[in-house]
Amino acid sequence: MTKAKLNALAVKRAEHDGSKGHRLIAVGGDAKGLYLQITASGSKSWILRVVVTGKRREFGLGAYPEIGLADAQELAMTQRNELKRAVMAGRDPMAEREALREAVRAEKAAATAPKLITFREAVRAFCSKDAGQLDGLSNAKHQAQWESTLMVYAVGESDPRRRAPRNRTNRKGIGADGLADIPVAEITKHDIARVLEPIWNDIPETARRVRARIEAVIRWADGKEERDRANPAQWSDLKHHGAFATRRGHKQKALVRQKAHHPALQVKDAQAWFTDVHNRPSISARALEFAALTACRSQEVRGARWGEFEGLDGDAPIWTVPGERMKMGEPHRVPLSDAALAVLRTVPRHHGTDLVFVAPRGGALGDMALSKTMKDRHAVQVTLDGVGWIDKDNGRIATPHGLRATFRTWVQDETSFPRELAEAALAHVSGDEVERSYARGDALARRRELMNAWADFLSFRRIT
């Protein structure tokens, strides 16, 4: 009987063999090392056993009976010849085989893995209205600043839909090699240090805000992708990075910038300054005059609406600033002096809007409108006395916000009104938590006396 017939007979016997468990049936013949493998479940397949680079290896050749004996023998001889040629050429066929398997596995994993969000995509999504992450900010300008600063300083590009912060474009060293297309999951503290380092000493306050905003975006994106890890932008780890080991002089300079106060008008200049602004006919001057008389912040005044006032025809007019425009988020009642009431009576009401101080082109006054009026009046005053309206402590031009400090200094140095009353007028939190839990009123009647006295001072009237 020929070898081929013997091999075929062995295969047939194995096919009908009732034995259990895993078995290998040697086929033999010209295809040395060819076996019929029978698993415990009864499935059958061809394997080739060979010794390659000193180790025994097994190669699968396909299932039986889909591949018959003759085809399996031909496949076995072909595989043997290819392995011999590879070894003679100095290649490692087993390493090549494993590399091919790894490439196939990686391709399958990439095809089935969820797409990781890039930092640019995360910034866009985080700052979108649908995400609602910026709803807690006080106004639309601050919301826009979040996205624009992140796009310029972290992502590495300017948003064509709006101006870059402070009219900046991507100047050399800022935004270069940004985080734009790096998946959030792969961002490291070294990546973050790379984008912050160019601005760390130059504009430290901006750098501090950018770092905090990067941290917020990464925290949000990690939550979206259900990732649990330490945030690479957190300052507790980032501060030890070599890029932030600034020289002492730079560090002190940064601290001075962060702690700088708003330049304030001197109390001795307040009356002359108020008279000068009072005589100006612009709507910005009226808003600035009203801000001085109420000791309120610029955004509170610029956003004032007629519906927020009550009792304008009575003896005790009140302006209630809603919480969304207040720094602390709580409504603030402002007693109006006769002088403040007089300002409101000179302001025209506009059809189609409830705003009190309407810009010449419509809408609310911009945040620079009051500051520009202050600077313009300072320039005029410089031509008269060579000094202008400045803060004596730092030599800088007084600002609208600094008028609050002027008011606070006047209360402290020129009157006998208690400190707590001045703090309440400024809508500052005063006293500890226990004290505030008992003192729940806003001392409106006493604050009315204070604001009347302040108005009398500014208007050169005697304080009684």
CATH number of the domain within which 151 lies? 1.10.150.130
The pLDDT assigned to 244 comes to 73
Could you say which of 53, 80, 112 is where a domain stops? 112
Could you say which of 259, 286, 316 is where a domain stops? 259
Could you say which of 259, 291, 323 is where a domain stops? 259
Does 134 lie in the same domain as 232? yes
The pLDDT assigned to 168 comes to 47
The two structure tokens encoding residue 28: 């033999």
pTM across the whole model: 0.49
The pLDDT assigned to 138 comes to 63
- Domain that includes residue 94, residue range: 3-112
The pLDDT assigned to 65 comes to 85
Does 139 lie in the same domain as 43? no
Q: Is 354 or 165 the better-scoring residue by pLDDT?
A: 354
Handedness of CA 289, 292, 295, 298 (dihedral sign): positive
The pLDDT assigned to 437 comes to 42
Number of compact structural domains in the chain: 3
Does 198 lie in the same domain as 319? no
Mean pLDDT score of the chain: 81
- Smallest CA-to-CA distance from 177 within 202, 157, 162 is with 157
Handedness of CA 422, 426, 429, 435 (dihedral sign): positive
Domain-embedded: residue 80: yes
Task: Say which CATH number the domain at 77 has.
Answer: 3.30.160.390
Q: Return the half-sphere exposure (C-beta side, CA atoms, 13 A cut-off) of residue 33.
A: 20
Is residue 463 predicted with pLDDT exceeding 60? no
- What CA–CA distances, in Å, run from 49 to 31, 46, 80, 99, 455? 10, 10, 9, 20, 102
* Structure confidence at residue 240 as a pLDDT band (50, 70, 90): confident
Q: Could you tell me how many residues make up the chain?
A: 464
Tell me the average pLDDT across 115-132: 85
Q: Which residues contact 120 (CB under 8 A, 6 or more apart)?
A: 155, 157, 179, 180, 181
Tell me the average pLDDT across 156-170: 52
Does 372 lie in the same domain as 288? yes
The pLDDT assigned to 237 comes to 77
Does 285 lie in the same domain as 226? no
